[in-house]
Chain A
Amino acid sequence: MAPDLTWEGSSVQRSWLVNFLKRPNTLRPALIRRMPKFNVTDGEANVLADYIMAVYQTSAFDREEIDALKFSTADAAHGKDLYYGKYACNSCHILDPSKDKGYLGPTLTQVGLRLNAAWILHWLKNAQALRPGTLELNWNMNDDDARAITAFLMQQKTAPKQGASK
């Protein structure tokens, strides 16, 4: 019913996780079931986040192996071309709500605040290895393409609209 959290600690940024635990919003427009709001305190959210970040880690890679700050604007521009062109990610993901329509996968408007760069890179290369059976394909993506799209996605930091999270 709920997403697989086996490697959640390798996937998300701690600050996003704390916020999500306090105010769960929906990442997947097509999903009908929603995470309930548990009204956790700041202290509880931090303890939960510490636990998830420390324990739910994959040994496949180090979540800090890529420094997103080192990506160039050219990397990100190339990634945008690949995102909308070669890989047509917009068929399933909404990144720009004003024109993207696909809603099978999670919304990526603020994915740069949610996931870390290493997770995105490895996810693009072979998501099936990280979460077997997930809807995301094993793109078998080459390093250059995966790096460029990661650079583009790490730029996506649009804050959610007021009242949009429910």
Chain B
Amino acid sequence: MKRALAALVLFAAGCRRVPPAGPGASAFGVAIVDVSGEKQAASAGATLDQPIVVQVNDAKGGPVAGALVEFSAPGGVIFNPPSGLTGTDGQFTAAVRLGGMSGRYSLVASSRDAAGKPLQVTFAEIALDYQQTLGRELNEKFCSRCHNSESTAERVSNHDNLSVPPHSFSDGAALNPISRANLVAIISHGGAALAKSPEMPPYNPTLSTSDIDALVAYIRAVADPPYGPQGVFYANP
């Protein structure tokens, strides 16, 4: 009898490790949506500042409590917790530690509807290499006070006080077309040097050449849409 009970306990414990839709989920939604945590940047191998939050909704768009959510991603990304049930607000939250390689990570949050059909939402997150991380630190100190329109308790934004609103560094549509050389020139010599706003001051020699290279690397890393090779450029197409 004792042995049978032990076997039952072991069996039950084993069962809990089988992830798919069935066990655990007490409710099912028809859609899974992202709530927050998308498009963050952190050093490769570091934990994102904000957790990622998803919500499972029913057919009317209302939250579903007790639905099973599982996270998955390539390349050594660690979720804490990796899966669980949505709360009474229909939401499920996980901290994310990025993989050790720099670059973009596509994270997937999945659930299932009552028929077992998979529901998915993806998150793009950015892992920064060493140079890009240096660029991020310089951005925090020198650039973000004007280029980030959000204020925090520690850093009041000057963005809205300027006559020409500075671009957010993630504004890929505006910044991707600017060549590396021109970005370096604007940062080094100020906006006026390239017929941009003179409110952008020259950071040479406050920042070194390698500092400015790091800033450009950071700007390219967080661009949205992503910065990529523009293809072969022919002078006479």
Which A residues are within 8 Å of any B CB, using their own CB?
30, 32, 85-88, 91-92, 101-104, 128, 135, 137-140
Contacts and interface: CB of A to CB of B under 8 A. Distances in A.
Interface stretch (B14-22, B97-105, B196-204): B196-204
Contacts of B206: 128, 137-138
A60 B128 CA distance: 41
Given A85-B198, A86-B198, A88-B198, A103 B203 contact: no
Contacts, number: 44
B145 interface: yes
Contacts of B201: 87-88, 91, 137, 139
Interface string B180-201: 0000000000001000001101
B162 interface: yes
Given A30-B156, A137-B203, A138-B205, A103 B161 contact: yes
A104 B159 CA distance: 10
B134 to A, nearest CB: 15
Interface residues of B, number: 19
A103 B157 CA distance: 9
B157 to A, nearest CB: 9
A140 B205 contact: yes
23 contacts: A32-B153, A32-B156, A86-B198, A88-B198, A88-B199, A88-B201, A91-B201, A92-B158, A102-B158, A102-B161, A102-B162, A103-B156, A103-B161, A104-B158, A128-B206, A135-B141, A135-B142, A137-B201, A137-B202, A137-B206, A138-B205, A138-B206, A140-B205
Interface in B24-80: none
Given A32-B156, A87-B201, 5 more contacts: A30-B156, A30-B158, A85-B198, A103-B158, A138-B206
Interface string B143-172: 001100000011010100110000000000
Contacts of B142: 135
A30 B154 CA distance: 9
Contacts of A85: 198
A145 B203 CA distance: 18
A102 B205 CA distance: 23
Contacts of B156: 30, 32, 103
B215 to A, nearest CB: 14
Contacts of A91: 146, 158, 161-162, 199, 201
Of A32, A86, A88, A91, most buried by chain B (CB within 10 Å of CB) is A91
A137 B198 CA distance: 15
A106 to B, nearest CB: 13
Pairs A-B, 6 closest by C-beta atoms: A101-B161, A30-B156, A91-B199, A137-B206, A138-B206, A88-B198
Contacts of B204: 140
